Amino acid sequence: MPILVAIAFLTCHALALALFPDHAKLLSYLFLIAAPLLAALACAWRSRGDPVAHGWIALALGMLLWTAGMASNMVMAMVLANANPTPGLSMLCYVLYGVPLTYALATSPREAWPVRLIDALLALAVGYLFFVHTFSFATLSNASDEGVERLRLMFDIENVFIAAFAVVRWLAAGGEHRVFFRTLAIFALLYLATAAYINHTQSDVDYGTLADLVIDLPFLTLAAMALRPAAARADAPEAPRRLSLVVRAGSPLMMPLTLLVVSGLILHTHAALATAGFAVALLGYGVRSVLTQVRTLEEQDQLSELTRIDPLTGIANRRQFDETLKRDWAPAARGERGMALLLIDVDHFKQLNDRFGHPAGDACLREVAEVLKECAVRSTDLVARYGGEEFAVILPYTSQHGAERLAETIRAAIERRPLPVAVAEGTSPPASLTVSIGVGYVAELVGRRPEALMGVADGALYEAKRGGRNRVCVRVL
């Protein structure tokens, strides 16, 4: 359907020129305003709930700027009867249309909002310097022949720049991002060819000819691609991983580099503004890099935390337990201070799982972990899920009596702890949750290894289970 609408639009444009030759210029202006406006509306519609919404909105804004340029052309030609076919205001709009597109290419919705704000500010700076550069060659009413040629060259550079980077982003993207950048790349390539054809071969031909249909093509193509049904764009392959990473790493340079280039263009005519542009580009990139680096470090910390936390119970996992035991062993040995290790096993956990189901078993494990955290409250203590229904508590700098007392406190607290509702309601008489605890203790760590303490704690746990469960047994290394 979008393709049929585009074909109908071109047909109507051609028929209007053929049937009403006396009004061909005005009618052509109206169609040339309607085509980018239709593309803007299509992109705005597509942005609703899309993962690349910021990109579609930027595209819509670019299309609106181009619409404003063509509307300025029409007003100057048809209302004010200005003989210059491309007044300076139109030139400015045509140049600025590329600024939102550059922003869409340079930023990513994955970035934090302060980073996207910096990209937006850099884009505004680029737009302002484009404004200054444009009116170095044109005024609001007209542009000299030399100025128009310089501006055409600037259009060519801008269009090649946007098309080339859009193609690179297309090749490096995946999923819905690949769909967006493919749409932008195809539009940018069509627009590059169209602008080159119109600016360099039809510059002396006024509006109102069949050549105007060529100008409709990139905008109608963009509208048709933006309005494609979801089913038609579902299969978007993933890009090569290395290429994707290279482009993602390099894309933050795009906006500062654009600002540096534009600043260089106005250096001879507006030295102060050019210097400010250089400073803004460097400062913007620097602040952006700092914010990105901070976010990266935060994500690394979060990932590191996730690798050390048991997802079910929220306490330390086996990996963090092993690292902490080795880390605490050496300082305790140098200080000749005692260390204890508690190994805790939930009694009859398999039968509990079989009777009430795994969700109930998981709830019981979380209850045990909660009791352990409530009892082992010293900052030096570590509570960990050792594996399955087994837990462990590392107690550095402690006495044998202190370790035994804590173990008994834990055992009694779990026995008194109300069972999760899902388990308790299905029992008659009410079920109780108990644990067996093995306490391994070593008074002098010098010349010993952590594995030895593990061995005696494991032996104490086995003794507690063999002795009837729901008890504490202690062994000293």
For residue range 163-176, list pLDDT tens digits in order: 988 898 888 887 77
Query: Domain residues of the chain, as ranges?
Result: 2-305, 318-476
Percent of the chain residues past pLDDT 90, beyond the cut: 38
**Of these residues, 111, 158, 389, 404, which one is catalytic?**
389
pLDDT tens for 271-306 read 999 999 999 999 998 998 898 888 888 878 777 777
Is there a contact between 17 and 24 (Cβ–Cβ < 8 Å)?
Answer: yes
Question: DSSP letters of 188-251?
Answer: HHHHHHHHHHHHHHSTTSPSSSTTHHHHHHHHHHHHHHHT--GGGG---PPPPHHHHHHHHHHG
| Cβ–Cβ < 8 Å for 232, 182 | no
CB of 104 closer than 8 Å to CB of 54:
yes
CATH class of 318-476: alpha beta
Please tell me the distance from the alpha carbon of residue 66 to that of residue 219, in angstroms, as a whole number: 10
Does residue 415 carry a catalytic annotation?
no
- Give tens-digit pLDDT for 395-449: 988 899 999 999 999 999 999 887 765 555 555 444 678 999 999 998 877 667 8
- 5: part of which helix (H) or strand (E)? helix 2-19
Model confidence pLDDT, tens digit, residues 351-376: 888 888 888 889 899 999 999 999 99
Q: Are 142 and 88 in contact (CB under 8 A)?
A: yes
The predicted pLDDT at position 51 comes to 83
pLDDT in tens, 205-236: 788 888 899 999 999 999 999 988 655 554 55
Beta partners for residue 476, in sequence order:
441
pTM greater than 0.85 (yes/no): no
Give residues with Cβ within 8 angstroms of 205, minimum separation 6. 211
Structure tokens at 301: 């910390």
- Checking if the pLDDT of 452 tops 80, the result is yes
| pLDDT number for residue 239 | 66
Structure confidence at residue 87 (pLDDT) = 59
Please check whether residue 62 is in contact with residue 100, taking contact to mean a CB–CB distance below 8 angstroms. yes
* Separation CA 433–CA 417 (nearest Å): 8
Task: Find how far residue 107's CA is from the centre of its chain.
Answer: 10
* Tokens linked to 334: 């140098």
| Short-list 350, 352, 365, CA closest to 312 | 365
